[in-house]
Structure 1
Amino acid sequence: MVNPLARSVTALLGSLAVALTLGAAPAAPVDPAGPPAPGTSARVAGVDDLAAMAAAYGRITGPGGQLRNPAYLPALVQATSALTVAQLVAQAATPSRLALTAGNVVPGWNVGNPLRAGWHGTRGLARRVAFTNRYGALLQGTVHRPLPGARDPYTGQRLRPPFPGVVLTPGSVQGSEGMYSWLAQDLAERGYVVLTFDVQGQGRGETLPHTTSNALPFCNPFAAPRDGEQLGCPGVPFQQLANFVVGTEDAVDFFTSTAALPYRNPGSAGARIDTHNPFARWLDRRRDPRAAAGRPMRLAIIGHSLGAQAVSRVQGTDRRVATVVALDKLAGGDGDPAVRPRVPALAVQSEYGFTVTPAALSGGSSLVPTPTPAGPDPRRERSAGFDRWAAAGVDSLLVVPRSSTHLEYTDIPLVLPASRYGQAVTSVYVQRWLDLQLKHRGSPRALLAPRLRYLEPRGSGRWAPVTLRAGDQLSTRYCSAYRLTDRRGRVATEGDLMGAGC
């Protein structure tokens, strides 16, 4: 059964994309003539603006996109049917752990990219896990790792454990872990152990906490704290930053747990939970003597949207974390004292927000369209958080994919705008960043290589190589900036990747 939400929205988005394309250049992320000179009005006027907007729907309508790959719809129907039944059965088996969420009840919401079916067992291994957060809410997740004896699919080198670790926190407004499997799989098959999970109230995460007060019967929203007990309904409503901060902190605790040092799983009575990370022996738990901030583990935390705000905070307090990756957006540009730049940060940020708007409405943040008669401000994205990291002297890289939206980082079938190659660009830069920060491979200049090589799923267990030019895939409206140091802490290189006017 196809996602019912997709039926109504796809027609609208498809019509919009077609209309834009009819009055513009083909909806492709590559400009054959190359980007116009920075600062020229041609870059944001007329047909160029329409072409950029049309390209922002490329994941659905572009060449090889969801509507133009004949393998996509059959794979979607099959994956949606199987996952929907499995989730309903799982929920029926745990009636006291209700997940009243879109990810649990809307068919297809948690599927992700159905063309990736078959990854488990052929390109890597994945295993479902369950654990509770500090409020006793049952969280669901998946851990990923390389196959035994596997080789890096890009370099051919043998992958030898133990491997660096990654914890990936989803975005808000009902983001779910299945939407981020693409990045977890890309990293796992290159030699990382990766945890994706649902925070409380999202995806398959339990809606209500299991506290000491069970009047309703699981929590009493009117109870006042007493004697150090956590009463009330913590984590309700789901749409709050605290859920993502708590979720990230508790997920890192679970991820780093072992059979000898199990996770505490508070409030888990009656629930089927994992006592520790089942892939713990594959995880490199050693302290990293070459990392800059207090010898952390070889551990990265990645977050999207509200999850990006959460990991921007957690990196400043959790000494196990060696680096952070924020997917739209790295926080701290507003001077938030809870954000303390401590570890190297990669920020991948988008030209558009949830909707695709003309350049004349691109002022302020991409998430809140604001009139800008003078045209886009090239420094808009770096002011979100990059400038604060750079000012703190911490390694930082900002990448802005061309025609990208806030939904680039979530695999959603046939609904919502996203560019054709935004995920490929993001994955390549995340891989390069973690190779440098966690595996200590290469030099900072390797992040600036002009070609992006990516293995893209095409369906039926087939992955095909794609080679992209960074100059074609990065924004010419908003600067992609970098400030990178050498092993002695000296600035090795800094600048503007695209000459967009940083």
Structure 2
Amino acid sequence: MRVLGAAVLSAALALGVAAPASAKPVDPAADAQDMADAYGRITGEGSQLRNPAYLPALVRASTARYVGQLLTQVASPTRLALTAGALVPGWNVGNPLRADWNGTRGVAKPVAFTNRYGALLRGTVYKPLPGARDPYTGTRLTGPYPGVVITEGSVQGSEGMYAWLAEDLAERGYVVLTYDVQGQGTSETLPHQDSPLHQDMVPFCNPVATPEDGELTGCPGVPSQQLSNFVVGTEDALDFFTSTPSHHYPNDQSGGASSTTPYNPFWRLFDRSPDPTPTAPGRDTRVAIIGHSMGAAAVSKVQGTDDRVETVVALDKLTGPDSDGPLDGSGNKPVVPALAVQSEYGFTVTPAELSGGSSLNPTPSPDGPDPMRERATGYDAWTNAGVDSMLVVPHASTHLEYTDIPLVLPASRYGQDLTSVYVQRWLDRYLKDGPAAPLLDTSFRYLEPVGGDAWSPVTLKRGALLSDRYCSAYSLAGVGSDGDIAGVGC
């Protein structure tokens, strides 16, 4: 590993690559340990490989989920989901230790609705159990509740990978929608165009059509790997989430979409009362949008244009108006309070000498990581705009921290736990008008599933679980600001 590091350093110097002035060198032994910690969810204490309940639960849950998805597809033969989530066993299973959550700790119900291009999107809505108590405070939960819409990440992310966060929020008094964007998970790959030539046929779009043919040109939403899919998905999911029996969601019934859900089945539990302390002018609807990866870029954009959104959470990464790179933030305007949870590593775990640029597009940084790197993507834009914001960078975290994926892809042991705690407290502050002080605690309690319908408390120490390479920071009205929570020296 050090040979690789030396080679990268030599190449960077030969190319004249300059490190930021604030970059700090990393001890080789510490670098090696950080890289090992980035696989903690698989190999760490109580991890997937070290919990004897995990593998049997994975086999059971994967089989049940895969068979269920096949049956759903067979029932909708003209709504093809040609995706990894639909075709690969276990891809969409999430954390199998949570398989018994529905009915014991909360309620989950599948839904389906069409996007503006006519493609069938499948999702799940979550709510608290009737008469339940908050598992952390013991307080009786009484509706109506604030709402949350979660948009997944790209590169074939699927909603099952984000059930952990939806469930954690639902059992603490939120109504939550997760869904698959067009072309991912179990959602339909192709759109349905209003054309007699393609009604109820495959394919449902003509990539070479022209206006003279009387058809829409191209295949809207194809390929799935485009920012507009996630922006459109977020906006349409908000429309579905806020639908009611008297204001149905406008599902496109062409192409055999009779299996669609006409409105949010948990509509009655969503708190539609105006927030007496809105987070921004005209923003008094108690709903948050959360996104990961390209979903994070999408919610960063939608929060600036959709006046139903009262706060936003971006999971790697919040994108401001001046962000560049693979997730362009051009035109984004900070409007509502934003929580940014961001990662040290991208899809792969690389030496510190490759920590330049973005974690998603690492480039040489011969002198080590720049502590300001994660601030620059969006947090600084929010603070400069005077909008409440917080940046959390978990130790040894990867871009896959926020997805439940079995066994094969890197993620730290406690990054997901820490993320859930901060998201819960952020939404309590901005959707339930709670105090800001809990966001600044240095020790947290979190409940983890360990198998057999058992949940075990863990204590999360902020000092040990925040990055010692990159700034974590906050700027909150009425509280103040701190641009160096973890003492990184930035």
Q: TM-score, normalised by structure 2?
A: 0.91
Is the alpha carbon distance of 1:268 and 1:499 closer, same or farther for their aligned partners in structure 2, counting shifts above 3 Å? farther
C-alpha contact 2:473 2:481 (8 A) present in aligned 1: no
The answer to whether the aligner puts 1:69 opposite 2:51 as a matched pair is yes
Aligned-partner Cα distance in 2 for 1:89–1:467: 41
**What are the superposed Cα offsets for residues 70-118 of structure 1, whole Å, 9 maximum, x if unpaired?**
0000000001111111111111111100000000000000000000011
- The unaligned stretches of length 5 or more in structure 1 are 1-15, 17-37
The count of corresponding residues between Structure 1 and Structure 2 is: 459
The answer to whether the aligner puts 1:473 opposite 2:473 as a matched pair is no
Is the alpha carbon distance of 1:407 and 1:225 closer, same or farther for their aligned partners in structure 2, counting shifts above 3 Å? farther
Structure 2 counterpart of 1:264: 250
Q: Give the counterpart of 1:222 among 208, 221, 224.
A: 208
Aligned-partner Cα distance in 1 for 2:24–2:119: 53
Aligned-partner Cα distance in 2 for 1:170–1:277: 19
Structure 2 counterpart of 1:286: 273
- AA aligned opposite 1:290: T
- AA aligned opposite 1:475: S
**What are the superposed Cα offsets for residues 145-167 of structure 1, whole Å, 9 maximum, x if unpaired?**
00011100000001110000000
Structure 2 counterpart of 1:363: 356
C-alpha contact 1:137 1:267 (8 A) present in aligned 2: no
Structure 2 counterpart of 1:90: 72
**What are the superposed Cα offsets for residues 358-396 of structure 1, whole Å, 9 maximum, x if unpaired?**
111101101112111111100000001101111111000
Alignment of 1:159-178 (within 5 A): 159-178=141-160
Aligned-partner Cα distance in 2 for 1:228–1:264: 23
- AA aligned opposite 2:304: G
Q: In structure 2, the residue corresponding to 1:325 is in which secondary structure?
A: strand
Structure 2 counterpart of 1:441: 434
Q: What RMSD over aligned residues (CA atoms) do the two structures have, in Å?
A: 1.7
C-alpha contact 1:174 1:202 (8 A) present in aligned 2: yes
Alignment of 1:313-462 (within 5 A): 313-332=301-320, 333-334=322-323, 336-442=329-435, 444-462=436-454
Q: In structure 2, the residue corresponding to 1:369 is in which secondary structure?
A: strand
Aligned-partner Cα distance in 2 for 1:390–1:419: 28
C-alpha contact 1:188 1:194 (8 A) present in aligned 2: yes
Aligned-partner Cα distance in 1 for 2:474–2:117: 39
Aligned-partner Cα distance in 2 for 1:306–1:108: 22
- AA aligned opposite 1:140: R
Structure 1 counterpart of 2:235: 249
Structure 1 counterpart of 2:264: 277
**What are the superposed Cα offsets for residues 117-141 of structure 1, whole Å, 9 maximum, x if unpaired?**
1100110000000000000000000
Structure 1 counterpart of 2:300: 312
Is the alpha carbon distance of 1:367 and 1:40 closer, same or farther for their aligned partners in structure 2, counting shifts above 3 Å? closer
Q: In structure 1, the residue corresponding to 2:237 is in which secondary structure?
A: helix
Greater Cα shift, 263-272 or 54-63: 263-272
C-alpha contact 2:191 2:205 (8 A) present in aligned 1: yes
Aligned-partner Cα distance in 2 for 1:83–1:431: 27
- AA aligned opposite 2:187: G
- Residue 219 of structure 1: CA displacement? 1.2
C-alpha contact 1:479 1:500 (8 A) present in aligned 2: yes
- Residue 225 of structure 1: CA displacement? 4.5
Greater Cα shift, 219-228 or 333-342: 219-228
C-alpha contact 1:132 1:268 (8 A) present in aligned 2: no
Structure 2 counterpart of 1:209: 191
Aligned-partner Cα distance in 2 for 1:244–1:494: 32
Greater Cα shift, 208-217 or 66-75: 208-217
Is the alpha carbon distance of 1:225 and 1:460 closer, same or farther for their aligned partners in structure 2, counting shifts above 3 Å? farther
Aligned-partner Cα distance in 2 for 1:267–1:71: 44
Alignment of 1:15-30 (within 5 A): none
Is the alpha carbon distance of 1:319 and 1:225 closer, same or farther for their aligned partners in structure 2, counting shifts above 3 Å? farther
Aligned-partner Cα distance in 1 for 2:340–2:276: 24
Q: In structure 2, the residue corresponding to 1:51 is in which secondary structure?
A: helix
Aligned-partner Cα distance in 1 for 2:287–2:213: 36
The answer to whether the aligner puts 1:101 opposite 2:101 as a matched pair is no
Q: In structure 2, the residue corresponding to 1:234 is in which secondary structure?
A: coil
- The unaligned stretches of length 5 or more in structure 2 are 2-21
Aligned-partner Cα distance in 2 for 1:415–1:267: 40
* Percentage of pairs with the same residue: 68
Q: In structure 2, the residue corresponding to 1:423 is in which secondary structure?
A: helix
- AA aligned opposite 2:59: V
**What are the superposed Cα offsets for residues 317-360 of structure 1, whole Å, 9 maximum, x if unpaired?**
11010000000000124274431110000000000000001111
C-alpha contact 1:169 1:244 (8 A) present in aligned 2: yes
Aligned-partner Cα distance in 2 for 1:381–1:228: 48
Greater Cα shift, 158-167 or 288-297: 288-297
**What are the superposed Cα offsets for residues 399-418 of structure 1, whole Å, 9 maximum, x if unpaired?**
00000000000100111100
Structure 2 counterpart of 1:140: 122
- Residue 495 of structure 1: CA displacement? 3.1
- Residue 228 of structure 1: CA displacement? 10
Is the alpha carbon distance of 1:162 and 1:87 closer, same or farther for their aligned partners in structure 2, counting shifts above 3 Å? same
Structure 1 counterpart of 2:476: 484
Q: In structure 2, the residue corresponding to 1:136 is in which secondary structure?
A: coil
Is the alpha carbon distance of 1:277 and 1:229 closer, same or farther for their aligned partners in structure 2, counting shifts above 3 Å? farther
Q: In structure 2, the residue corresponding to 1:496 is in which secondary structure?
A: coil
Structure 2 counterpart of 1:9: none
- AA aligned opposite 1:147: L
- Residue 483 of structure 1: CA displacement? 0.5
Aligned-partner Cα distance in 2 for 1:63–1:186: 22
Q: In structure 2, the residue corresponding to 1:356 is in which secondary structure?
A: coil
C-alpha contact 2:323 2:330 (8 A) present in aligned 1: no
- Residue 287 of structure 1: CA displacement? 2.1
- Residue 446 of structure 1: CA displacement? 2.2
